């Protein structure tokens, strides 16, 4: 029974992948779109980048770091949710040291760490990115915690 379900799901995945492939063969995506431009305007020295998040304190949202071509990068002090982020080795080492013992929801634990903004990591500890017209790069499908497009 399980095999059949698995087989069905694989078939579905392949069928949909094929449809997407055909779509992009017909209509290739632009190479110089917002995501391409994003790379040339990135803040240097980031340690963690939040690409999918649910909420950020409004006051923090206005702190503009660097941007161009419709992209804005913001220092982030309290990103909520963990459905998509990148981390360097240095940041992960620090994070593993700091979050144990876990004493609150882990995204809060990561986000609300005063030490995060101290010397070693500074503002680049956590950054997040958005595009004014492309939205956040990652979304979650949880109904209650979708990425907010204008954060």
What is the per-residue binding string for other proteins in 58-97, x denoting contact by CB under 8 A?
------------------------xxxxxxxx--xx-xx-
Determine if 20 is a binding residue for other proteins (CB under 8 A). Answer: yes
151 counts as binding other proteins under rule CB under 8 A: no
Q: How many residues does the chain have?
A: 151
Please identify, using beta-carbon distances, which residue of 58 and 101 lies nearer to other proteins.
101
Q: Which residues contact 127 (CB under 8 A, 6 or more apart)?
A: 43, 46, 48, 49, 50, 65, 73, 74, 75, 76
Among 58, 101, 114, 144, binds other proteins (CB under 8 A): 101
Q: Does 33 bind other proteins (CB under 8 A)?
A: yes
Among 68, 104, 115, 120, indicate the residue that binds other proteins (CB under 8 A).
104
Rounded alpha-carbon distances, angstroms, from residue 4 to 1, 14, 18, 53, 88: 5, 15, 21, 36, 40
Span of 27-35, 54-62, 115-123 interacting with other proteins by CB under 8 A: 27-35
Our finding on whether 98 is near other proteins (CB under 8 A) is: no
Location of structure tokens 């620090």: 94
- Which among 145, 122, 115 has a CA at the least distance from the CA of 52? 145
Nearest-angstrom CA–CA distance, 52 and 108: 15
| Interface pick for other proteins out of 13, 57, 115, 122 (rule CB under 8 A) | 13
Burial class (CB in 10 A: 0-12, 13-18, 19+), 88: middle
Binding site for other proteins (CB under 8 A): 6, 9-10, 12-14, 16-17, 19-21, 24-25, 28-29, 31-33, 35-36, 38-40, 42-44, 46, 49, 51-52, 82-89, 92-93, 95-96, 99-106, 108-109, 129, 133-142, 146, 149
């Amino acid at each position: 029974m399980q095999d059949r379900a698995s087989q069905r799901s694989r078939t579905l995945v392949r069928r949909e992948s094929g449809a997407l492939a055909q779509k992009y063969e017909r209509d290739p995506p632009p190479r110089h779109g917002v995501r391409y431009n994003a790379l040339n305007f990135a803040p240097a020295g980031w340690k963690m980048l939040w690409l999918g998040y649910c909420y950020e304190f409004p006051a923090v949202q206005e702190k503009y770091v660097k941007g161009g071509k419709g992209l804005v990068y913001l220092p982030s002090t309290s990103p909520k949710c963990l459905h998509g982020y990148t981390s360097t080795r240095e940041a992960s080492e620090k994070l593993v040291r700091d979050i144990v013992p876990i004493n609150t929801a882990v995204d809060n634990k990561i986000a609300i760490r005063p030490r995060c903004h101290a010397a070693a990591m500074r503002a680049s500890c956590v950054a997040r990115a958005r595009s004014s017209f492309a939205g956040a790069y990652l979304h979650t499908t949880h109904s209650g915690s979708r990425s907010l497009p204008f954060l």
